[in-house]
Structure formats: C-alpha cells, structure tokens
Amino acid sequence: MKKIILVGGARPNFMKIAPLYFELLKCPQRFAPLIVHTGQHYDQKMSEVFFKDLGLPEPDINLDVGSGSHAVQTAKIMIAFEEVLLKHKPDLVVVVGDVNSTLACALTAVKLKIKVAHVEAGLRSFDKDMPEEINRVVTDSVSDYLFTTCEDANQNLKREGISLDQIFFVGNVMIDSLLGYYSKISQSDVLERYQLKEKGFCLLTLHRSSNVDEKEVFCKIMGAIQQISKETKVIFPVHPRTQKMIEEIQLEEQNLIITEPLGYLDFLKLEESARLVLTDSGGIQEETTFLKVPCLTLRENTERPVTITAGTNHLVGLDPEAILKEVDALLENGHKDFALPPLWDGRASQRIVRVFESVL
C-alpha cells in the first residue's frame, strides 16, 4: 500500500484536495491518503467551514503555522513538514495550486528524496511581482509529476525544459469539486440572508496584496465599485487581509453589502446567481467560466488565459474608467457564447489517480 500525503494550506487548496482524497479512498488496498493542513489559512471562516462544506474529515495533521511574512511562513512550514515526512515516510507528496504551502512542502519533500506531484502545474502569469508566480515556477521545477488543467500550461512546461514524460494533461480538479457539490447549493439560504435576487446583483472578491495592501490602489478599485453599487447591489465577502484596509477608509454601504468570508456552498450559490463577478482570484475565473457567469478580473495579467479565450473572463486591469466601461457593456449586452476548455468534465481526479497507479 502506498502512503500519499495531500497538502493544503488555503481555501482554494481544499477544493482541489477533496476530490482527490475521495478518489483515493476508492482504492483502499492500494492507497492510504493523509491530509496535512499547514495552517496557512488558520481561522474558522477561512478553513474549518470549508472542510465541513466539502465533507472532508478533520486533517490527519495540522501544522498550525499561522500568519507571517512570506519568508517566515515558508520557513515555519518547511521545518514542521520535515518532521511529518520523517515520521510518516510517504511514497508521494501531492501539492496543489500556488500558495506558500505548495512551495514549502514541495521543497521539503524533494530534499528528502520523496516524490512530489504538483496538481495545477504550468500556469503562468509571467509576472514575477506576484509571489504566487515564484511559487508556481519553483514548485514545477522540482516536482516529479506535473498535472495540468489546459494546453497552454503544457506548453509553458515544455518551454521550461520539463520532460514530456513528467507532464500529464488531466483537466481541472476545481471543476470536480464544483460538479460534486453543485446539487447541494440549493440548501444555501445566502440569497435570502442578504436579500438578493437571482441575477440582480454583482459579486466582488479582492485579496491579492497588489490590490489590497496599497491604499491608493484599493481606493481606486473601491471607487469604481461604489459607482457600480449605485446601479445594482454588490455583495463583497471580505478576506481577512482586505478587512484591514476597509477599516482604514470610509465606504458607503448603501448597495454595497460587506460580509465576512463565506463557506463553499454559500459562495457557489452567489457565483451562480450573480449577474456579474468582479475578482482578482484565479480559481473564481475558472468557476465562473464553468458556470457561464460573466467575470471581470481586476488585474493586469492572468495565469489562466484559457478563461479568456474559451470562457467568460475579461481581463480589465485596475483603471476605474475601464472597469466601469466593461461593467456597463456586460450588464447591457451580456457575454458571447463559448466552449468549455477540454477535460473540464469533473473527472480530473480519476485521471490523476490512474497516473498514481501507474507511476507508484
């Protein structure tokens, strides 16, 4: 039996781990999965509620690293995770996404000569000012097995010299979760709770440091949002890092509904029901593409260009006038038809486990 450690540290990681965990459980004679939560997202609203919504058990191991600078957080994870690896001696470590936990655990494992699989490999924004871009590139460079969501990710890895026999195009595990839990979103009362009507509001998320840590940038974005809120309700579940900046500035909250972080099912219900989503999140660009909901990405670049070429995503930048112009156009005209990217079919985790069966 092969022991496989699944590493998660932040909300988007848990949605990628869940379908893999349950798929591995279908092969009890072959695989013994362990969930390691690094504690990078450590409060109840950013972590525990997601485990509950996804039906995941309590993590087998919680490193409880908490917050800190990139260097401090990464170092804490590496020190704690090394002890886990030495004790449990896994056959494979699976890391997902692009957070500090992804990089830290991949590096720790490979230095102990333990095989590493990176799920969601090959995504590139080509912007090294993004900490996540550094995490992606370094993690891919040390991983043994690289599982990709789209063809452009395959091409990025080939250009970087990754051997073809290490690259596995399997599709998008985020969509596995979305489809797996989609039937349950009818249980959510989030629309009633916040007095929202189907397709009668916009959904906003902001969490990237480049958008929420600099007061001038954040104020520009929120100036545009407040203009939008004069025409239609905007609901804004607030990430803890964003909350600090909100407390520094004055926001009119007439049609702008500011909430605490929401669980997975509540958030999916909002995404599906929104007339338009504004975000700086990578995963939300993918989810809105699948849900056929127009999305404006409030960034200058994206590591998920397939959501633009094949999906509902519009890369709009940070200029308030450009944001307002694009919102007006989408609210008036909707968006074009599109085809889903290949293999976004809810079976990516099955393909990944089949690869595990082959290579382990």
> Parallel, antiparallel, or unpaired for β 295-297 and 256-259?
unpaired
User: Which pLDDT does position 248 carry in this prediction?
Assistant: 82
Give residue 257's pLDDT band: very low, low, confident or very high (50, 70, 90): very high
The per-residue DSSP string of 234-280 comes to: EEEEPPHHHHHHHTTS----SSEEEE----HHHHHHHHHH-SEEEE-
pLDDT tens track for 221-253: 999 999 999 999 999 999 887 888 888 887 767
Where residue 209 falls among pLDDT bands split at 50, 70, 90?
confident
Distance between CA atoms of residues 104 and 79, nearest Å: 9
3-state secondary structure (DSSP) of residue 34: strand
Report in angstroms the alpha-carbon separations of 242 from 118, 169, 205, 238, 302: 29, 35, 9, 6, 20
What superfamily would CATH give domain 2-172+344-359?
A: Glycogen Phosphorylase B; (3.40.50.2000)
pLDDT at 46: 57
Six token digits for residue 61: 């191991």
Active site (annotated) includes residue 37:
no
Does 186-333 match 2-172+344-359 at the fold level?
Answer: yes
Across the strands, what pairs with 4? 33, 92
pLDDT of residue 321: 96
- Could you tell me which CATH class the domain 186-333 is placed in? alpha beta
Mean residue pLDDT of the chain comes to 93
pLDDT at 44: 55
Q: Write 141-145 long-range contacts (CB < 8 A, 24+).
A: 142/106, 142/107, 142/110, 142/116, 143/95, 143/106, 143/110, 143/116, 143/117, 143/118, 144/110, 144/115, 144/116, 144/117, 145/115, 145/116, 145/117, 145/118, 145/355, 145/359
**Whether residue 334 has pLDDT greater than 80:** no
Cα 140 to Cα 95, 225, 242: the distances in Å are 10, 36, 29
Which H or E element spans position 169? strand 167-169
Structure tokens at 141: 């460079």
Task: Give the pLDDT confidence score for residue 169 in this predicted structure.
Answer: 98
Residues 6+ apart with CB under 8 A from 50: 11, 14, 15, 263, 264
Running DSSP on this structure, what letter comes out for residue 45?
I
Residues 75-127: tens digit of each pLDDT: 999 999 999 999 999 999 999 999 999 999 999 999 999 999 999 999 999 99
Say if CB 302 and CB 313 are below 8 A apart. yes
Sequence spans of domains, the chain: 2-172+344-359, 186-333
- The pLDDT of 338-344, averaged and rounded, is 90
The answer, yes or no, to whether residue 187 has pLDDT greater than 80, is yes
Mean pLDDT in residue range 329-349: 87
- The one catalytic residue among 88, 207, 314, 335: 207
pLDDT tens figures, 47-85: 678 788 999 999 999 999 988 899 999 999 999 999 999
Q: Name 193's Cβ contacts closer than 8 Å, sequence gap at least 6.
A: none
Residues forming beta bridges with residue 146, ordered by sequence position: 118, 167
The whole-number pLDDT of residue 275 equals 95
Give Dmax over CA atoms of the chain in angstroms.
59
Q: For residues 115 and 92, is the Cβ–Cβ distance under 8 A?
A: yes
